[in-house]
């Protein structure tokens, strides 16, 4: 098996360059065209072995992803940040640090995963990057996008009277991680359910499709929001804090993973994170339009209020969320 | 002394955010304006402790830079890549990985160094980024710039008849590193010379000033080139390979560091790297114009020829450079 230390930096770069468009290879930087009237959107994320994924290097015996999954997830997380701003992707750069005893096939796998995810979501090309030896395997991805500044989605633009809309299902990615870390867990799940939950963790899907629908059907609408990469509760808290508003959330309407016991579904769905869905606030009529085009893959989960209190209301109780507290039990 | 592990991710982010403009904090990505008719230029560099600099973590006892130097150098290397493309900087993103037992003051130092370098060279703001725990301390910097695509400097645009122009002095950065690694070395240097050489290694200066002069006085000129971050010889080889040309270099004209014995000056000046100067090929009249505005801080070191051979000519000998060989002795 070839290891990275056997092929050196030149060998590494030769592999990496096969994943970049020919005209982008061989200069100190890449040029990217922007459509007239658009601004550039830029976001950078670090993903480190043993923190954001486990290839078994940092924690021997713990393997939650293949190299292809790592590449996919790295691209997906950054594309999700672009979607969170309402932007259209233009491409990514990749900084890859890796220990010398990593198999060369892993590098190809990571870039393969990046390339497949970029293709699937029209994320643009790999615009270049850098490779370097290090003690840990990590990826630093910078994604570039473009957005009409009038149509950009910011966290601070929520207003009282907006409804809060969440796309997709929450908690599945966290459940998938649990299945990978504790294979004996979840014996109440079918094989199909297990595979689906694991897939949601390993291959998250950035919601650029939602942005395309907004661009087509709601091009001039004021929309606030962000992605739910740190959890559904966190997204609502961030939006309210940046907008200086409060919110009421309806516990029965939260789009929680259904395959789990209610208490777990609630904990992981509300607080789990890594689902990479979108949490948006907008006028009720606009939300209705958006949901109709999303084929019900979205739910209105509450509304923005004046004040700064965020309450979660169910048939049997009302709790006030503490922004500093990562997890609060609630009844549904 | 506060360590990173004492303040956690939230504490880290709070420090980092003090170095970002207020309006850029609090969203998933940053928006950047581009001037009409310009393209975006993007470049990513990794800098790893123990590889690109030594803070004493990876190799205990070996310290070549302060945290401020590391930040400066990281920004400077990326701004130099923008200069190499003829671009004007718009800002950078910063991905910082660091071990938990690093002093908090180091983080502030690194960001301080980044900020001071960006201010000095009009490099734009820190547009955001990410912080994560890791086994190694490393920085992943992505720099954004803008360029009129007609005025972009590419490696592949050299033509026979162009002269080859190098800015600044080469070999000083390599000599500075030697002084840091072997303090007993260089007893023939004065204290002032030692300090100057060390400064060149720790605080390299990207040549964005050259690009401003080109933009003003030679806006429509065809110019090929790159920076000399991997050495003067490497730059000429890369330009010739990408342009499918050869070159003649005049050994007596090479702008080599003067403070060293000739053999060392030649080796480190021609092959050393990290000087972050520019190596440009252009028509002889344009080169003359550029040199006149650079107050002689540039030299014509040779010319582009047809064929693919790169020769180095002195009064006493002619040698042919082997692109695969990192170092070849020559007489001056």
What pLDDT shows up at residue B326?
Answer: 61
d(CA B139, nearest CA chain A) in Å: 9
What pLDDT shows up at residue A332?
Answer: 47
Q: Is A296 annotated among the ligand-binding residues?
A: no
What are the residue ranges spanned by the domains of chain A? 4-148, 153-320
Say how far apart CA B305 and CA B161 lie, in whole Å.
Answer: 6
Say how far apart CA A139 and CA A47 lie, in whole Å.
Answer: 5
What pLDDT shows up at residue B330?
Answer: 60
Which fold, A4-148?
60s Ribosomal Protein L30; Chain: A; (3.30.1330)
Mutate one of B38, B44, B229 to test the A interface: name it (highest A CB count within 10 A): B44
Backbone angles phi, psi at A239, to 5 degrees: -60, -45
Task: Report the sign of the C-alpha dihedral through residues B254, B262, B264, B190, in that order.
Answer: negative
- B139: which residues sit within 8 A by CB, 6+ positions away? B46, B47, B70, B71, B74, B94, B95, B96, B97, B110
> Please, which pLDDT band fits residue A61 given cuts at 50, 70 and 90?
confident
Structure tokens at A193: 């359910």
Give A129-186 as a DSSP string: EEEEE-SS-EEEEEEEEEE-GGG--BGGG--TT-EEEEES-BSHHHHHHHHHH-TTS-
A97 and B136 within 8 Å at the Cβ level: the answer is yes
Which fold, A153-320?
Phosphoribosyl-aminoimidazole Synthetase; Chain A, domain 2 (3.90.650)
Among A11-15, A66-70, A324-328, B68-72, the least confident range = A324-328
In CATH, B39-147 is 3.30.1330.10:
yes
Q: Are B18 and A103 in contact (CB under 8 A)?
A: no
Calculate what percentage of chain A has a pLDDT beyond 90. Answer: 79
Residues of B in contact with A140 (CB under 8 A): 44, 46, 95, 130, 140, 142
What pLDDT shows up at residue A330?
Answer: 60
Work out the number of other CB atoms within 10 angstroms of the CB of residue A296. Answer: 7
- Encode pLDDT of A108-137 as tens digits: 999 999 999 999 999 999 999 898 888 889
- Measure CB to CB from residue B29 to each of A41, A93, A133 and give the nearest one: A41
Angle (CA) B328 B330 B332, round 5°: 155
What pLDDT shows up at residue A322?
Answer: 86
* Helix or strand (DSSP H, E) at A31: strand A30-32
Say how far apart CA B124 and CA A292 lie, in whole Å.
Answer: 43
Backbone angles phi, psi at B8, to 5 degrees: 70, 180
What pLDDT shows up at residue B2?
Answer: 87
d(CA B87, nearest CA chain A) in Å: 10
- Encode pLDDT of B268-283 as tens digits: 999 988 999 999 999 9
What pLDDT shows up at residue A328?
Answer: 63
Among A26-35, A66-75, A245-254, the least confident range = A26-35
Residues of A in contact with B130 (CB under 8 A): 44-46, 140
> Please, which pLDDT band fits residue A7 given cuts at 50, 70 and 90?
confident
Q: Are B97 and B134 in contact (CB under 8 A)?
A: yes
d(CA B265, nearest CA chain A) in Å: 26
Q: Is B52 annotated among the ligand-binding residues?
A: yes
What pLDDT shows up at residue B332?
Answer: 46
**3-state DSSP call for residue B240?**
helix
Say how far apart CA B121 and CA B297 lie, in whole Å.
Answer: 18
More confident residue, A323 or A257: A257
Q: Is A155 annotated among the ligand-binding residues?
A: yes
Distances (CA, A) of B171 to A79, A239, B175, B272, B314: 42, 52, 6, 6, 19
What pLDDT shows up at residue B13?
Answer: 84
Say how far apart CA B250 and CA A148 lie, in whole Å.
Answer: 52
Backbone angles phi, psi at A150, to 5 degrees: -70, -25
Residues of A in contact with B27 (CB under 8 A): 84-85, 154-155, 226
For chain A, what is the largest distance between any 2 Cα atoms, rounded to a whole number of angstroms? 64
ipTM of the predicted assembly exceeds 0.90: yes
- Kindly give the parts of chain B with pLDDT less than 70: 325-332
């Amino acid at each position: 098996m070839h290891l990275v230390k056997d092929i050196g930096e030149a060998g590494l770069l030769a592999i990496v360059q096969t994943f970049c468009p020919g005209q982008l290879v061989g200069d100190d930087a890449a040029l990217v065209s922007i459509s007239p009237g658009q601004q550039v959107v830029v976001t950078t994320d670090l993903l480190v072995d043993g923190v954001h994924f486990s290839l078994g290097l940092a924690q021997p015996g713990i393997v939650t992803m293949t190299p292809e999954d790592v590449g996919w997830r790295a691209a997906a997380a950054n594309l999700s940040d672009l979607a969170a701003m309402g932007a259209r992707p233009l491409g990514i750069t990749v900084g890859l640090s890796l220990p010398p005893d990593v198999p060369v096939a892993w590098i190809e796998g990571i870039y393969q995963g990046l390339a497949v995810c970029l293709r699937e979501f029209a994320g643009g090309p790999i615009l270049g990057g850098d490779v370097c030896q290090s003690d840990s395997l990590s990826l630093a991805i910078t994604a570039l996008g473009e957005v009409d500044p009038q149509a950009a989605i910011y966290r601070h633009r929520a207003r009282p009277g907006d409804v809060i809309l969440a796309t997709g299902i929450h908690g599945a990615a966290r459940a998938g991680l649990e299945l990978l870390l504790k294979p004996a867990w979840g014996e109440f799940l079918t094989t199909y359910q297990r595979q689906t939950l694991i897939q949601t963790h390993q291959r998250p899907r950035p919601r650029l499709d939602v942005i395309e629908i907004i661009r087509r059907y709601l091009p001039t609408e004021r929309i606030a929001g962000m992605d739910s990469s740190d959890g559904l509760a966190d997204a609502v808290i961030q939006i309210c804090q940046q907008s200086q508003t409060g919110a009421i959330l309806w516990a029965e309407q939260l789009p929680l993973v259904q395959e789990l016991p209610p208490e777990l579904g609630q904990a992981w769905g509300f607080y789990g994170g890594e689902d990479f869905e979108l949490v948006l606030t907008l006028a009720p009529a606009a939300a209705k339009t958006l949901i109709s085009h999303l084929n019900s893959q979205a739910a209105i989960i509450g509304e923005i209020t004046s004040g700064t209190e965020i309450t979660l209301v169910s048939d049997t109780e009302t709790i006030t969320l503490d922004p500093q507290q990562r997890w609060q039990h609630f009844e549904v």
